[in-house]
Amino acid sequence: MTAIVIVGAQWGDEGKGKVVDLYTESADLVVRYAGGPNAGHTLVVGGEKLIVRLIPSGILRANARCVMAQGMVVDPGVLVSEIDAVEARGCSTQGRLFVSDRAHLILPYHPLVDSLREAAAADGTRLGTTKRGIGPCYEDKASRRGARLGDLRDMKRLAQLVSRSLEAWTPTLRALGGEPPSLDAIIEELTPLAKRITPLLADTSQLIDGALRRGERVLLEGAQGTLLDIDHGTFPFVTSSSAIAGGACVGAGVGPTRIRRVLGLAKAYCTRVGEGPFPTELGGPLGERLRSVGGEYGSVTGRPRRTGWLDLPALRYAARVNGLDGIALTKLDVLTGMPELKVCVAYDTPSGRTREFPIDEIATAQPVLEPVAEWSEPIDAARSMTELPAAARQYVELVEKETGVPVDVVSVGADREATIVRRNAFA
């Protein structure tokens, strides 16, 4: 039995889409286990780009089936347009895409509450969410109300569930100055979507178990990243789901004994989109350079991403909470030609210097930065470590030494091909 997890080790957007697509070459099943359309996973094949928000990043590889598991929250309109976009690229989803009937439905008032709350929040308390209704939908789930995808099979029952949830949200909507949408309008909108989605519904935990029993290779794809995890992230500036590797067991209904490896994805620098602490953030021309060379604009919202130096204590933290046994280091090419290069190796906190990521003192901790050697040669054509300039190689070795985790993959460009694979995911 072989299930592996691919998880973001920073604040999301580490290149999960690219690496999942790459590894799907040798996978039979690719499973998204958490989050919803707040994710934006970019796949670039032969220069052509596709951004998926809900559908697993393995979808462009005909050899693999794709599963959206019950840890997800699903906006049915987004799902149907995404299926259409994938099909329009000549890539069939028929018989290849399965959706958990237990995943929760994002309903029109969820994004509405999300947006109104963000607009009403005082400075310093705004989360900078993607406004896609993620928080309110998971709130419904935790409150044990709301509707699940399986409820799309019975529109009468669905109307009852939506009515109960809408009733619970109405005072909040009104207090925020919003108008609750009508139940009839919601059901009318959902009716044609239900016809498209119900044929895809399945007990996905059982489906994954069957695949594992047949000896198939299963890749569990995370969304967001470790530092956005509801329990282990920089709370409260986090998302509402279990993004870490352990979330794969909960979200996909796969027991921990089935997971063979966990691969963490990290950019060669850091980015964050939305509010919240980001100790190694760079202002000024260096930060701007990372943003423009790295194309650091949100794939979902288009917001400019905040940029900063690589945070090694944060990576050690991610290695711990996810149990990483491999790292894919992405976007190393973006560091080419940086006039100056630094990494964070430790933190100064009121209680002294620490090599740990100071998750509880993050607002006051000061990163200890060390300079590292720069390089100026383009590296996007490199396909082996020996083709990298010595300083770039040393940078990769520094990550290995500081985290104690081997770097299995070095990504040197957005395209599927622009990759140095040192160890296959399923090896």
- Choosing from 41, 104, 131, 267, which is the catalytic residue? 41
Determine if residue 144 is labeled as part of a ligand binding site. yes
Ramachandran area for residue 40 (φ above 0: left; ψ -120 to 50: alpha; else beta): beta
39 annotated as a binding-site residue:
yes
244 contacts 250 by C-beta, under 8 angstroms: no
**Which residue out of 104, 110, 131, 141 is catalytically annotated?**
141
Q: Report which residue type is found at 190.
A: L
Shortest distance, CB of residue 414 to ligand GDP, whole angstroms? 3
Residues 276-315 that bind ligand GDP (CB under 6 A): 295, 299
Q: Do residues 110 and 137 lie in contact, with contact meaning Cβ atoms separated by under 8 Å?
A: yes
Among the residue ranges 70-78, 235-243, 292-300, 401-409, the one whose residues contact Mg ion (CB under 5 A): 292-300
Q: Rounded CA gap, 91 and 379, in Å?
A: 31
Residue 148: DSSP 8-state = B
Nearer to ligand GDP, 165 or 411 (CB): 411
Do 370 and 363 meet the contact criterion of CB atoms below 8 Å apart?
Answer: no
Write down the least CB distance from residue 99 to Mg ion, Å. 21
- Cross-strand partners of 220: 5, 31
13 lies in the site for Mg ion, by CB under 5 A: yes
Binding positions for ligand IMO, rule: CB under 6 A: 8, 12-13, 38-41, 127-130, 132, 134-135, 223-225, 228, 239-240, 273-274
Helix (H) or strand (E) holding 239: none
Task: Name the residue among 117, 82, 79, 118 with its Cα closest to residue 99.
Answer: 79
Give 165 or 271: the residue with its C-beta nearer to ligand GDP. 271
Which is it for strands 97-100 and 41-45: parallel, antiparallel or unpaired?
unpaired
Among residues 414, 416, 420, 425, the one that binds ligand GDP under rule CB under 6 A: 414
Rounded distance, CA 203 to CA 69, Å? 9
Question: Rounded distance, CA 120 to CA 328, Å?
Answer: 39
Cβ-Cβ contacts under 8 Å for 141 (sequence gap 6 or more): 73, 104
**From the list ligand GDP, ligand IMO, Mg ion, none, which binds 38 (C-beta under 5 to 8 Å, kind-based)?**
ligand IMO
**Least separation, in Å, of the C-beta of 376 and ligand IMO?**
30
Shortest CB 317 distance to ligand GDP, Å: 18
Q: Between 137 and 211, name the residue whose CB sits nearer to ligand IMO.
A: 137
Listed residue (389, 312, 376) closest to 343, CA to CA = 312
Q: Are β-strands 65-68 and 217-221 bridged in parallel, bridged antiparallel, or unpaired?
A: unpaired
Q: Contact at 8 Å (CB) between 55 and 83?
A: yes
- Binding region for Mg ion (CB under 5 A) out of 144-152, 190-198, 291-299, 403-411: 291-299
Task: Return all residues near 30 (Cβ < 8 A) that are at least 6 apart.
Answer: 20, 24, 56, 57, 58, 59, 64, 65, 66, 67, 218, 219, 221
Q: Is the dihedral of CA 351, 354, 356, 358 positive or negative?
A: positive
245/227 Cα distance (integer angstroms): 12
- For the record, the structure tokens of 111 come out as 């994004």
Which segment (68-76, 174-182, 331-339, 350-358) binds ligand GDP by CB under 6 A? 331-339
> Smaller CB distance to ligand IMO: residue 222 or 326?
222
251 binds, among ligand IMO, Mg ion, ligand GDP, none (CB under 5 to 8 A by kind): none
Residue list 21-50, contact with ligand GDP (CB under 6 A): 39-42, 44
CB proximity list for 369: less than 8 A, separation 6 or greater: 280, 309, 342, 343, 344, 345
Residue from 333, 343, 367, 408 binding ligand GDP (CB under 6 A): 333
Which residue, judged by CB position, is nearest to ligand IMO in the bound state?
274
- Min separation Cβ 124 and Mg ion, Å: 25
- Looking at residues 377 to 396 of the shown chain, list those that interact with ligand GDP (rule: CB under 6 A): none
Pairing of strands 259-267, 326-330: parallel
Catalytic residue check, 141: yes
Query: Which of the choices ligand GDP, Mg ion, ligand IMO, none does residue 132 contact, using the CB cut-off of 5 to 8 A by kind?
Result: ligand IMO
Residue 233 within binding range of ligand GDP, rule CB under 6 A:
no
Is residue 416 a contact residue for ligand GDP (CB under 6 A)? no
Candidate ranges 64-72, 240-248, 325-333, 365-373; the one touching ligand GDP (CB under 6 A): 325-333
154 vs 147, 190, 321, 326, 353, CA distance in Å? 11, 11, 40, 44, 59
Question: Nearest approach, Cβ of 41 to ligand GDP (angstroms)?
Answer: 4
**Binding site residue list for IMP:** 13-16, 38-41, 130, 144, 224, 239, 303
Looking at the annotation, which residues are catalytic?
13, 41, 141
Residues that bind ligand GDP (CB under 6 A): 8, 12-18, 39-42, 44, 295, 299, 330-331, 333-334, 411-414
